[in-house]
Amino acid sequence: MRKTISIADFVVGGDTFAVMAGPCAVETKEQLFASADAVAAAGAALLRGGAFKPRTSPKSFQGLGTAGLELLSLASQRTGLPVVTEVLDPRDVAAVAEHAAVLQIGARNMQNFPLLREVGRQRLPVLLKRGPAATVEELLYAAQYVTNEGNGNVILCERGIRSFDPSTRYVLDLAIVPVLRERTDLPIVVDPSHGTGRSSLVRPMVLAAAAAGADGVIVEVHADPSKALCDGAQALLPTDFAQMMVDLRRLLPMLGRRLSRPSAAGHATPAQGTISDEFIAP
């Protein structure tokens, strides 16, 4: 039996399909709430949003930090959606854990071993993104840095690898989903927003990820992508996200899955993840 991870009232893995959605970065309360309300209404299972943003240039918007975490908590209370948000610095893990239901390790930090160990000492589930040049083996070893510290609640995430074609930002490697399925029971989700870098490609790649056997997706949604402070080119409009969810709801039953849904609106306290099976090393 495959591992499932409980997040608040949701489950990732098994026969469910978890849609995590929200803005790339938390910018303002209004911007966050607009996106959060939209993704909640359309049936997302988790709210995503970055308070600490790893940016290529030191001059780019670096996120609101602690203030962003607090806004995420408010958005979570408002929508009932648990929050997945990134942590960059081992010294910030405890603070982020107070506001998050899932701790995200970004692609640039997939082999940031002190950070992996630190989230491994928490009880919250960890969303571990594949680095853009990481092999399957390296991704699984990175997961072991977390699980070896006692936290078996790792969700693996494909988010695109570096390649040569400028027509997409990265190449989304969907075959990694069945490859990982053969080697680990950890849930596997896909990020088509970063993995393609273009909003028009997100919907088909979400459906393809589901068909490939993924346990979920993480998708960027912004009420006004042209004004986004981060990665606007890959953000879906709320209406496009809603249409994507319609398509997904039609497709999932053919794949033996159903959307992971909240059991009740309004709860805010992130629950602790649980391990139902052992992590299997490659």
- Only one of the segments 14-22, 71-79, 205-213, 238-246 lies at the binding site for a second copy (rule: CB under 8 A); that segment is 205-213
Query: Token pair for residue 276?
Result: 């139902």
Residue from 77, 94, 204, 265 binding a second copy (CB under 8 A): 204
Query: Token pair for residue 241?
Result: 């996200």
Residue from 94, 113, 239, 280 binding a second copy (CB under 8 A): 113
- Is residue 150 a contact point for a second copy (CB under 8 A)? no
Query: Token pair for residue 256?
Result: 């033996």
- Is residue 246 a contact point for a second copy (CB under 8 A)? no
Nearer CB in complex with a second copy: 223/275? 275
- Residues near a second copy (CB under 8 A), total: 63
Residue from 6, 111, 272, 276 binding a second copy (CB under 8 A): 111
Nearer CB in complex with a second copy: 29/278? 278
**For helices 238-251 and 202-211, what crossing angle results, to 10°?**
20
- Is residue 255 a contact point for a second copy (CB under 8 A)? yes
- Is residue 65 a contact point for a second copy (CB under 8 A)? no
Residue 28, Cβ neighbours under 10 Å: how many? 12
Residue from 119, 176, 221, 275 binding a second copy (CB under 8 A): 176
Minimum separation from the CB atom of position 113 to a second copy (A): 6
By three-state DSSP, how is residue 250 classified? Answer: helix
CA-CA distance, 105 to 153, in Å (whole number)? 13
The secondary structure of 80-137 as a DSSP string is ---EEEE---GGGHHHHHHH-SEEEE-GGGTT-HHHHHHHHTSSS-EEEEPPTT--HH
Residues 232/244/162/64 CA torsion (nearest 10 deg)? 40
Cross-strand bridge partners of residue 218:
20
Site residues (vs a second copy, CB under 8 A): 54-59, 88-91, 108-109, 111-114, 131-133, 135-138, 141, 144-145, 148, 161-168, 171-179, 182, 192, 195-196, 200-201, 204-205, 207-213, 250-251, 254-255
